[in-house]
Amino acid sequence: MNVQQLRYLVAVGDSGSVSGAARDLGVTQPVISRSVRAFEVEHGVTVFCLSGRRLVPTEGGRAVIDAAREALGAIEAVGQAARVAGGETELVVATTPTNGLLLTTALSELGRSHPGLGIRVCRANDADDVLHQVRGAEAELGFSELTPFSSDDQVVSVPIAQLDVVLVSPAGSDLPAAVSWDDVVSLPLIMPSEDSGRRSLINDMASHVTGSTPQVSLVIEDRGAWIAAAQAGMGSFLSYRAVATGYERVELRSFTPPQLVAVGFVHRTGPISRPARQLIDLAATELMNPMLAPS
């Protein structure tokens, strides 16, 4: 048994498939399959069984995965304590492209105050992916929407701000000064792909109020292209006011009632490095700026 085997077991348990675990960890499927099988043979236990198209833990497998998760947490706690004691030389932050824009100023200030610190920002697909990277010790900090996670004693959440969600539309759009979800679901929207966590978040928010999901006029993964698409009249999209303010040839409309999303950091339970704590403080100062409040 080795640490890598434990990581593979937990990843398969979290994703429900070898292919999903391989994608999350950036390795090939045969590597994970061989590792899991070797663990099962070595310990005489069947960890997973098929249920439909998913791999689910057996009764004994659940206990194994829980123990593996605890062991990985203990190993990471040792490493984290050593990094804090010895002085961190690199800070790794997991975030999505949209949320990463909110950290630009804070990251710049952190870099100026710690010229010898390496700062690495890892792209995440959604809030669940951010949480996965933090749990797996791929990143010390995660920054995203703070989705609920039940009784997770491995991860601490640090709320930073409630951000105003706005509709960004081509200039001259025939819309009321403040929109409702009924307005939004009737519009052609620029959206991320169907498997995106942000797409699911938007669909959930719309269907909760209206019972339907928005129309999709254009699917673009590159969030930086959404403004250009809206400027070209290809559709509207949802964003934070803090991210979308200041562009020409688009109009921003708040919701009535206001739609607010909590954003913040997550990190593993235990001590965090001084640069990590400083980044949290810098981001809190930046995002609590009154200019970011709903208008």
3-state secondary structure of 27: coil
Q: What is the mean pLDDT of residues 91-104?
A: 92
Between 1.10.10.10, 1.10.150.120, 1.10.101.10, 3.50.50.60, what CATH number should domain 3-77 receive?
1.10.10.10
Domain at 87-161+261-292: CATH code: 3.40.190.10
Say if pTM beats, i.e. exceeds, 0.85: no
Domain residue spans of the chain:
3-77, 87-161+261-292, 164-259
Would the pLDDT of 148 be above 70?
Answer: no
Q: Is the confidence at residue 166, as pLDDT, over 60?
A: yes
Query: What per-residue confidence (pLDDT) applies to 290?
Result: 42
Q: Tell me whether domains 87-161+261-292 and 164-259 share a fold.
A: yes
What is the DSSP code string of 174-238? ---SSB-HHHHHTSEEEE--TT-HHHHHHHHHHHHHHSS--EEEEE-S-THHHHHHHHTTS-BEE
- Helices and strands in the chain, H and E counts: 12, 11
Tell which CATH architecture fits domain 164-259: 3-Layer(aba) Sandwich (3.40)
pLDDT digits (tens, 9 = 90+) for 121-141: 999 888 888 988 898 888 999
pLDDT at 289: 57
Long-range CB contacts (< 8 A, 24+ apart) of 75-79?
75/3, 76/137, 76/268, 77/268, 77/269, 77/270, 79/137
pLDDT of residue 295: 37
